[in-house]
Amino acid sequence: MNMRLVMKSGFGGFDVLGVIILAGGEGRRMHGMDKGWCRFSNGESFVETVMSQLEQLGQYNEGKRVKLVISANRNLQAYQSLGKAVVPDIRSGFHGPLAGIESVMSAFQHASISRWCTWPVDSVTVPYEALQRLVAMDEGKIGYLADAHRQHFAHLSVPSSFRASISGYLNGGEGSIKGWLTQQRDYVVPLNLNPAERIENCNRWPQAVDGTNDVIRL
C-alpha cells in the first residue's frame, strides 16, 4: 500500500505550523487497542505511517518549520521513542480528541505557533490537497474537512487563540468536536474535498483483521 504524499511547493504562510497526530483515544471500536500501534503487514504502525507523511510538510513548505506533536494517553514511552513531542491529556480519563487538542495547545501556549492542524492516527492516508486546505485557512477562521459522504470533524484547522474556548466547552462537561464547532459557527468553514482526496480511515475492528486494508493486529 503506497501512502506517501506527492506534494508541491508553496504551502501556507506560517513560520511555524503546529500539527497534532490524535492518538489519545480509548480505541473502543478496536476492542480497546491503541490504534497508533496497530500495524500493517509490512510491520509499519499507523502512527509511523501517518507521521512519515506529515513530516514531509517541512520539506515542501519553503523552509518553514513544522512542529509535529503526538497526543497520546497510553504507551507514552513507545510514542516518545519516535522522537516527537508527546502530550497526554491534562484531564483525567478519556475525554476525546478535543481534550487532546486542548492539552497540546496548553503545552505549547508560549511557542510561536498561531495555528494547529489535527490528523487522526487512524486516517492512514494524508492527501496533499486535503492537508493544504487545512493549512491555508484565513486568519481567525476554523476549518474542517468534508466530502460528499461525511464530515471529518477531527481533521481540523484551528487558531491557537481558541484554546480558552475549547477549555470552557470541556469544563461544561461536553467533549464533541462537532458540538464545539456548532458553538463557533460564525468562525467555521467546511473545507470540501473532491473525490480524488479520499481519506482512508481504519477505525473499526473488522478493518484491522481483513485483507482489504492490509492491516494486522499487534
DSSP strands (E only) in the chain: 16-23, 39-40, 65-72, 85-87, 115-120, 142-146, 151-159, 188-192, 215-216
CATH architecture of 16-216: Alpha-Beta Complex (3.90)
The more confidently predicted of residues 16 and 159 is 159
Q: How far apart are CA 204 and CA 184, in angstroms?
A: 30
Q: How far apart are CA 98 and CA 102, in angstroms?
A: 6
| Domain residue spans of the chain | 16-216
pLDDT tens, position by position, 66-92: 899 999 999 999 999 999 999 999 998
Q: How far apart are CA 174 and CA 96, in angstroms?
A: 10
pLDDT recorded at residue 173 = 94
The more confidently predicted of residues 23 and 204 is 23
Strands 151-159 and 142-146: antiparallel
Between the two ends of the chain, the Cα-to-Cα distance in Å is 18
